[in-house]
Chain A
Amino acid sequence: MNKIYKHVIADIIRNRIVLFYTFILLLASLSVFSLEDTSSKGLLSMLNIILMIVPLVCLIFSTIYMYNSSEFIELLLSQPLRRNTIWWSLFIGLITALGLAFFVGAGIVILIFEPSFLGLMLVICGILLTFIFTAIALLAAVLTKDKAKGIGLSIILWLFYAIIFDGIVLFMLFQWADYPIEKFMILISMLNPIDLARILILMQMDVSALMGYTGAIFKDFFGTSVGIALSFGTLILWVIIPFICSLRYFKKKDL
């Protein structure tokens, strides 16, 4: 496993896309923080990067990577290796590379400019989103044999989590405006890792506004240590479940 893992890492670094991604993140985060007088606007831009760019890059890159290394995977499968091991090493290789890229590119800068709980929350959410969308990409890649279809699927998944899901939620909020659906909304937000990460960060970022009545309901959940633990638990489940699904599918898959 160690050998395959090392090979995956070396391969990712060699193809330079991840290095480029790290560099772009570094450039973006340094410029947003140094352009503004206060760190709050920079944090807002970083929030958008974490919620939009990170999932997109992780999804597309991981999906393409999986397709490009399909021959390598086939080669490995011809060796006396367990499919379990191969899939795990690929996944861990990818999340180490992408996670490290995020941490070096954005995480360190955030922690330097905003050394607070909010900054920490941003970094943790960014890393978790990296893991989640890599796992989802693996699932998308393993589900379809055709490369174009697979990439299409991952783009649709990104669109769904980043935009469409929020649209549906907003629509629901207006449809059921007369009902007390705040608690239900907490449940709904668990169904989208991007939303969940966003709300967790929001709780730290807009404390004053959230002390209003409706905000207080969310604050009572997401602001407490139990709520935060539960939310992070859910985010970790979002890593585990897609990965386990892809693993099970990969084991049975006829290549």
Chain B
Amino acid sequence: MSNATASSPVVEQGASPAALSSASIRVRVPFWQSVFIIWYRDILRFTRDRARLIGSLAQPILFLVVFGVGLSSAFGAGSGVLPPHTTYLEFMFPGVIGMTVLMTSIFSAMQIVWDREFGFLREILVAPIDRSAVAVGKALSGASQAMIGGIIMLIFAPIVGVRLSVLGVFEMLALLLLLAVSLSAFGIAIASRMRSMQGFQVVMNFLMMPMLFLSGALFPLKGLPTWMAVLTRFDPVTYAIAPVRVSLFSNSGYPAPFINAAQVTIGSYTLPLLLDVGIVAVIGVTVLGLAIAQLRKRD
């Protein structure tokens, strides 16, 4: 273990002398069972708390309606970015689903701060389950909650006029899951350092808003001024939104220029979707490792 201190010359106690008594023979809880426990408890709480789900959908819906409808007339056909017979609203729709997942994932990590405040985090941390299982369980529970939000948002597709295909939806959901797990892990890494709700909210809003606005979720990343184009390419969420959008559109017969508008380009080079996904996966694994390290720390 990383926390065995080298400075203290403790003589190893050998195998366990206490193992003599039958009471002390312990069954190690398997990793995936530990993950399940953490996940299950969060989901149990989530199902008891419908207000949270509705609350997490309110903002994306507002964006979809106000931004989408309001800007569709200004944008859309004729603006040069999107091809004719397509609307900004359609283009924006997968982005808004991504936005739902982003906000729900990140804010699900607030549960950790909440648990610290109300003491339950200690029950988790003194349990004989590995901290990595705690982090993975939490990341999966945050992702599950986010996916529920994202799937609910799909019901707006016919209203907005987006054509869906079964394959496209499944591809998109798989990609969203990757985004959701990564962002939940990111939230956990931050939340496990935070001692107050207010602190977490301030920090998260500070990080989340630029991540969202620069990701291309709300507008195409084409024809931007250079400084902004550069910033958007440094936003990890950019590489998650592009494949989500492409997978949804390319399977239901949207014109090529429309799909191209969704892809990430660097100069004249269009990043292949697999590279986008790879970038997100690498970042996701990194932040998950960070979250585990945070949870492993002892005072």
- Whether both chains belong to one complex is answered with no
Q: Which residues of A contact B (CB under 8 A)?
A: none
